[in-house]
Amino acid sequence: MMLNTIAGRTYNDLNQYPIFPWVLKDYTSQVLDIKNPNVFRDFSRPIGIQNPKHIDEVKFKYESFDDPTGLIQKFHYGTHYSNAASVMHYLIRMEPFTTLHIQLQSGKFDIADRQFHSFQSSWTNIMDSPNDGKELIPEFFYLPEFLLNSNKFDLGKLQSNNQDVNDVQLPLWAHDSPEEFIRLHRLALESEYVSAHLHQWIDLIFGYKQNGQAAIDALNVFMYYSYENVVHTDSIDDSITREAIDGVWNTSPANDNDETPTVNSTNPNYHAVIDSVVHKGKTEFQKGQQSTETIVSKAKKLMQQHWDHTRQSLARLRKRISEMVPKSANNLIYWRNPIQSGLVLGVSLSVIITFMFLSSLAAISFWLLALLVVSGLYQLYNYVMVTFVGRAQDDILDSMFPSDISISEQQARDLAHNIRVNGTSLLKHGRNLFLWQNLTNSILFGLILFVFFYIGLSMNALTFALIGLIFLFTVPKIYQVPIDRTAKQVLDQINQLLAKVTSKLPNKAKKP
């Protein structure tokens, strides 16, 4: 970009848009190997003669051209590697370039086959004809969005297979990901091979092979009107000839004017200057990369701190619940004895369901009778085991209902104290709510009552008790292990994602 800026190229003028090179010629491999020199274009040749078969054709065109007026100079290529039309060609899927393209094509999109729809197709066109000599633009190395038809423009159908033109068909090694294409394409631009050969392309576009005998020898001469200070119609005496030249200049696709960059040096030994500019650019890029890595590192650290805080909050919540609930109840709801927990849950569910469908008297009688029968059967089972097997089983009922089931005086006082304290607190809160002493809390309380009223139309108190019981025997156990495990897995996935982001950052610039 520094070379483009020095040469007068700018985003503000489509006729002098920044120029970047075609870097690769391999758009069919499943994996891009940037250590293999065979995947790169020949930087010593103009894009129009990447296919060696075109060399003789281009030479013959130059040598055989003869303008009777002597005004039009010889050239190798009738089209330029950079002009407004080529910028619109590449950026057709993005405004305002879409509208500019339509205006250029007299109010419609160009034929689909001539649009930029596939990398392989574009490179094939370059290899098939020296007349398709467009170089690339900077967006190919930083902007994945221009490859997508996000605006859903109707770009037509290809004549070859009647396929709709939509997003740009990417090379196989990009795996249908514009972001992956940009990442690999930029890595290719910054590769060791390109660093060692890019100066040859710079000579052609910005340097001493741009014009003169060096340009002729390099087969790098374009139409005369694309060069600075070449067309001087004021010096032509013949008005007809002058008007004809002006007509060519003003109506040519090149004007859109193809404009060759300003020559940065006519000395072939200026590579030290170029290396200095490139090194400075790489240094700035490296600083930007380090800043990005710092941001990723800080984000990872903040996420870890947030997760640690959340985990500690959950641990404190579990501890508070454990302190509020008696130890025996804790053992039940955390399933430390699965048999006892399952028995209590099953019986409790059955009791609640029975009360939902039977009268209170029938339900109480039924369950007392059921308890009596179960206890009798269990005692009979123990008697049989002792008589015929000679071994008694552990008495589960005795462990669940100890012999000392009396309520001590201290337990009664503690219970009364808790009822008094909690009841007093409840009454105070209720008074504040119903007397609207806190407007926000009273409104919120009213909304909660309103919601519960409509929920209660379909569910009675026993249903709530049923749901509450299920939650009581499931949520604590779920929180104890699985959620911790799941949260850890989520954190691991976040760490892996951050690692992938870091790994896909462009490689740090190598010292020249």
Please write the tens of the pLDDT for every residue from 485-503: 666 677 677 777 767 766 6
Q: Are residues 261 and 311 in the same domain?
A: no
More confident residue, 423 or 498: 423
Beta-carbon contacts of residue 40 (< 8 Å; ≥ 6 apart) = 23, 24, 25, 188, 193, 194, 197
pLDDT given at position 381: 79
**The two structure tokens encoding residue 71:** 């005004």
Do 430 and 449 meet the contact criterion of CB atoms below 8 Å apart? no
The rounded percent of the chain whose pLDDT value lies above 90 is 36
- Identity of the highest mean pLDDT range in 94-108, 274-288, 455-469: 94-108
pLDDT given at position 266: 53
pLDDT given at position 126: 94
Q: Are residues 254 and 346 in the same domain?
A: no
Q: How many residues does the chain have?
A: 512
Q: Given 215, 240, 269, which residue is the final one in a domain?
A: 269
Q: State yes or no: pLDDT of 228 exceeds 60.
A: yes
Q: Are residues 383 and 473 in the same domain?
A: yes
Phi/psi at 252 (5° precision):
-65, 145
Residue 388 lies in a domain: yes
pLDDT given at position 204: 93
pLDDT, average across residues 309-318: 68
Q: Are residues 202 and 338 in the same domain?
A: no
Q: State yes or no: pLDDT of 11 exceeds 90.
A: yes
pLDDT given at position 18: 95
Q: Are residues 263 and 314 in the same domain?
A: no
Q: How far is CA 340 from CA 142, 264, 329, 399, in A?
A: 65, 88, 11, 10
For residue 445, count other CB atoms closer than 10 A to its CB: 17
pLDDT, average across residues 415-433: 86
Q: Are residues 331 and 246 in the same domain?
A: no
CATH number of 223's domain: 1.10.1540.10
Q: Given 269, 290, 319, which residue is the final one in a domain?
A: 269
Q: Give 241-276 pLDDT, tens digit per residue.
A: 556 555 554 544 434 445 667 655 555 555 555 555
Residue 386 lies in a domain: yes
Q: Are residues 439 and 357 in the same domain?
A: yes
Beta-carbon contacts of residue 181 (< 8 Å; ≥ 6 apart) = 144, 147, 170, 171, 174
Determine which of 25-39, 50-64, 393-407, 492-506 has the lowest per-residue pLDDT on average: 393-407
Q: How far is CA 187 from CA 174, 193, 194, 271, 432, in A?
A: 13, 11, 10, 22, 68
Residue 64 lies in a domain: yes
Do 270 and 277 meet the contact criterion of CB atoms below 8 Å apart? no
Do 130 and 54 meet the contact criterion of CB atoms below 8 Å apart? yes
Q: Are residues 260 and 320 in the same domain?
A: no
Q: How far apart are alpha carbons 172 and 124 in whole angstroms?
A: 15
Residue 484 lies in a domain: yes
Q: Give 426-450 pLDDT, tens digit per residue.
A: 888 888 888 888 888 888 888 887 7
Residue 411 pLDDT class (50, 70, 90 cuts): confident
Q: How far apart are alpha carbons 256 and 84 in whole angstroms?
A: 6
| Boundaries of domain holding 393 | 307-401+412-500
Q: Are residues 39 and 102 in the same domain?
A: yes
Which residues pair with residue 347 across a beta bridge?
A: none
pLDDT, average across residues 409-413: 82
Q: State yes or no: pLDDT of 458 exceeds 60.
A: no
Residue 302 lies in a domain: no
N-to-C CA span, the chain: 18
Do 501 and 296 meet the contact criterion of CB atoms below 8 Å apart? yes
DSSP 110-149: PPGGGSS-BHHHHHHHHHH-TT----B-GGGGT-GGGGS-
Q: Which residues of 363-401 are buried (b: 16+ CB within 10 A; e: fewer)?
A: beeebeeeeeeeeeeeeeeeeeeeeeeeeeeeeeeeeee
Q: Are residues 311 and 248 in the same domain?
A: no
Residue 485 lies in a domain: yes
The rounded percent of the chain whose pLDDT value lies above 70 is 68
More confident residue, 448 or 102: 102
Number of structural domains found in the chain = 2
Q: How far apart are alpha carbons 109 and 155 in whole angstroms?
A: 7
Q: What is the mean pLDDT of the chain?
A: 79
Q: What angle do CA 228, 229, 235 make, to 5 degrees?
A: 150
Q: Given 269, 291, 320, which residue is the final one in a domain?
A: 269
Q: Are residues 51 and 167 in the same domain?
A: yes
pLDDT given at position 6: 86
Residue 294 lies in a domain: no
- Identity of the highest mean pLDDT range in 2-6, 66-70, 195-199, 254-258: 195-199
Q: Give 113-150 pLDDT, tens digit per residue.
A: 999 999 999 999 999 988 888 999 999 999 999 999 99
Q: Are residues 244 and 318 in the same domain?
A: no
Residue 335 lies in a domain: yes
